[in-house]
Structure 1
């Protein structure tokens, strides 16, 4: 290891190290950082000389981190988070802020909460651009690797560095076209009906179906769609049933009749999730507060 007098590190070099550590690939790290592969390789060579360790070695067609790199990674990540905290600058002023904020949310969460949030931005922080991407079943890496700034999901990933806060609760409800059929009378009627159901792009199904199968029951679903937005077009004019969050009755499923789900399924909670490095960021905190205010008004 070189002496402290020989150290010549900067935040960009350390960010390159973390990108390669996360991606296990020089080329993927270069794409993520928006630089050339040669620039990443040059920075790694400098870090190897400064830190006195190979950091990454060839493994088949790829590379693998050394033990030193794996052990040092969390310390460097923490150091960069601390340095970002030093550069937060003056107090956050919404009307003067200019940046892009990316939220990962599936269609239900997106349509429920984010139109109202976009209105808040137009009125109070017009310089903040809102970018929305699908969340699927969220993973910690979505936040760790800055693929998004915040996630809204009922599925918080189990990770110590991911912060979470409850937004609101909802429950599953049965929807049908009242011009075509009556509401299911009981569980037997519900199970013997035909359904339109959800299979997400990730291949995941509704928790309802997993719960039913665990009890030895299943629904007959001749139609499946990849998100809740697809339900109205296939439900309209048919005798199918659709089971979806109750709050959709005030949105895309407003034209359909709703009835209680004859299956004992607990309500679920929507959370907003973010990485701990943004915990004290004033702009991030302001955005989280706006989303919480919107959710609280829905519960009022």
Structure 2
């Protein structure tokens, strides 16, 4: 490389190309938004560095030297390449050809994903989705890029995780419709602990706050069954005496579909917050921005998720 170009910045290269294109310092200064004296000093530096006058006067005008003529086209090409690299292309969903990996619970997959895919087919037919089961606190999936986006209950996320609140919900106790506790309007702590319990292990953290509350009081519950999916829990709950703590909107959906009912947990107050969350490395990507807003809107508008909180960027 010619030593003259080793320390040449993009702004200096732009100034040199403009001077050679316009061949008039005052006109070049107006185009670049600078002063004529500044460009005059720059031209002197360019002439010295390149060992060539670059422009010479001919009558009342300037003409380029052979050296300058040979430089103009390749320098223009370099600038165009730099501009194409740094320019942000317009994002058009219907032209996007990409596969996103989205993590969430089987409840999201069953009740939200179908309508999301239906709208996706018309809005962005080239976009595909891999849906995986979210495991609580596996934020390393977002860090590594194996997952682009999660939709779940999130607590204590690392600083490099960005998110947007979908909504809030309260914790309730779900049971079969003819359970002995179904006749009770408000469960007491003793009644809650008098029966075996079930836990859903996949997805966000749904009930560790219960065990933390009990531990603080020197108490514990009998955890008889742990299953990874909401669908399995709903089936198992109908044929047992077990109790299950879960979000109210899910319990309400279940009561409309199966022989189940729910009661509030009056002895303890806990609110779930649902998030769309992503890693900061994808924060400014136009494709990722579009996709997470698309998912967010579907989650907010779903009849199976009735958010009560305001949506905020975090």
**Shorter-normalised TM range:** 0.5 to 0.7
Which residue is equivalent to 1:154? Answer: 153
Q: 1:296 aligns with which of 293, 300, 304?
A: 300
Question: Is 1:177 matched with 2:155?
Answer: no
Given the two structures, how large is their TM-score scaled by the length of structure 2? 0.60
Which of 230-239 and 137-146 deviates more? 137-146
Are 1:206 and 2:208 counterparts? yes
- Which of residues 264, 267, 272 is equivalent to 2:271? 267
How many Å separate the matches in 2 of 1:172 and 1:104? 22
Quick one: distance in 2 between partners of 1:201 and 1:299?
Answer: 18
User: In 2 relative to 1, CA 177–276 (structure 1 residues): closer, same or farther, beyond 3 Å?
Assistant: same
- Cα gap change, 1:159 to 1:203, in 2 (>3 Å): closer
* Number of residue pairs aligned between Structure 1 and Structure 2: 219
Contact 2:154 2:204 in 1 (8 A): no
Residue matched to 1:166: 165
Counterparts of 2:203 and 2:281, CA distance in 1: 30
Structure 1 residues 183-204: Cα deviation after superposition (integer angstroms, max 9, x where no partner): 2542221111222223459999
Stretches of structure 1 that go unaligned for 5 or more consecutive residues are: 7-82
Contact 1:175–1:259 (8 Å) recurs in 2: yes
Determine helix, strand or coil for the equivalent of 1:171. Answer: strand
How far 1:241 sits from its partner (Å)?
1.8
Structure 1's 161 and 221: CA in aligned 2 closer, same or farther, altered over 3 A? closer
Q: Identify unmatched segments of 5+ residues in structure 2.
A: 7-81, 309-314
Contact 1:139 1:157 in 2 (8 A): no
Larger CA deviation: 205-214 vs 96-105:
205-214
Paired residue secondary structure (2:134): coil
1:203 to 1:288, Cα distance in 2 relative to 1, 3 A: closer
Superposed CA RMSD = 3.2
TM-score if structure 1 supplies the norm length?
0.63
- Report if aligned partners of 1:156, 1:164 keep a CA contact under 8 Å in 2: no
Q: Which of 222, 229, 232 is the equivalent residue of 1:230? A: 232
1:187 to 181, 186, 189: 189
Residues 1:205 and 1:292: Cα distance change in structure 2 (over 3 Å): closer
- d(CA) in 2 for partners of 1:267 and 1:116? 27
Asked which structure has the greater CA Rg, the reply is 2
Shift of residue 260, structure 1, vs aligned partner:
0.7
Q: Write the mapping of 1:105-116 to structure 2, written as runs, cut at 5 A.
A: 105-111=104-110, 113-116=112-115
State the alpha-carbon separation in 2 of the partners of residues 205 and 175 from structure 1.
13
Write out per-residue CA displacement over residues 205-229 of structure 1, whole angstroms, 9 at most, x where no aligned residue: 6332232222222222322223333
